[in-house]
Structure 1
Amino acid sequence: MMPKEVSKRLEEFKQQVCQHLRELQDRLASVVQKRPKSTNSEDIPRMQEEVATFSVNFQKQPDIIRKELQAISDSVLRQEERIDELKQYSRRNCLPFHGVAEKPGEIVTDAVLKIMKETLNINIEQSAIDCGHRIGKPIRSAAQAFCSMLFHAKRTLKNTPFVITESLMVDRQRVLKSAKEKFGPRSCWTQDGRIVVLHTNRHF
């Protein structure tokens, strides 16, 4: 929950409690007016004073908490900026190579060394490279491509006894079943293991 949302809820809670306190003060005042004049008890005035003191102190608390939340939010922001700086600093020796065709079973460092040697005329030892890896999604294997083709063609099995589904873990199967029961089977499906629900023209 973001600090603004917490602050809003604190303000709502404050208003509710203050309303109850005002009602209690009104009831106490009514009791004081109706009590017999011969009654000499100091309990009710003391209760009134306690309620009034509590009301004043309570109304200060949301402001104090709000300031503390803002301080925490500012601290988190500074830490995120620092982390970003550290991450960027750690990438000072990283050099992305673009436009390098991907090949199944390739060794990335070998591909980079080849480009440097044949195109840049730079010869270095492989030990000079800490590591090399691809960025982004890798090319799909033949098996993955085949499964994807079958899964997208499953609609042609309509009105047949056959069904093709993704192989989901038990917990995801349970969630999918609950979603279909609540939103209808036509509004729920899976995509790369993720459960998609179409509800009021929005995807979840």
Structure 2
Amino acid sequence: MRRRHKMILFHGVPEQKVEDTTAKITGLVAEHLDLSNFSSASIKQTYRLGRSSDKPRPIVVKFSDTAVRNKVWFSKTKLKGTGITQSEFLTKSRHNTFLEARQRFGIGKCWTRNGYIHIIASDGSRHRAECKLDLNSISSNQTKSPTQIPVASKNTDKVIVSRVKRVVKK
């Protein structure tokens, strides 16, 4: 992750057949993020990820300095309502772990910071994960959903799940 600490992914930036991604990101930062002293010299490299499709591909931006990267990263709330989002450029294995953590614990309970996945468990405790084994080490009883009790229907012999039994935490 050391090589990726100066990188950010920009999602939702409209794509054209011929484009200068550095100029596009510089204009985006100048227009929406209001950062002083930001220019194309603050960016080392930009490129689009993946193959062309009907959706715009994310843009990988490598900044010249971590301080500039952090200024851009922490001003991301100014992008609300624009359809453009930022994310960390994680390795494939960490990205898959992050997606699984979001499925297990919920989108609002998982985030990344400096390449690590941070999770708030159902009991409120915070955990840091790097791989799927770390997710499994978080107590399994915290991730279980409430159990359902089957209730038989009067007309048929089918079992229909009609209500949820609450699980009491101790």
Fold match (TM-score > 0.5): no
What is the TM-score with the length of structure 1 in the denominator? Answer: 0.30
User: Radius of gyration: which is bigger?
Assistant: 1
Higher RCO, 1 vs 2 (CA within 8 Å, ≥6 residues apart): 2
* Larger helix fraction of residues: 1
* Larger strand fraction of residues: 2
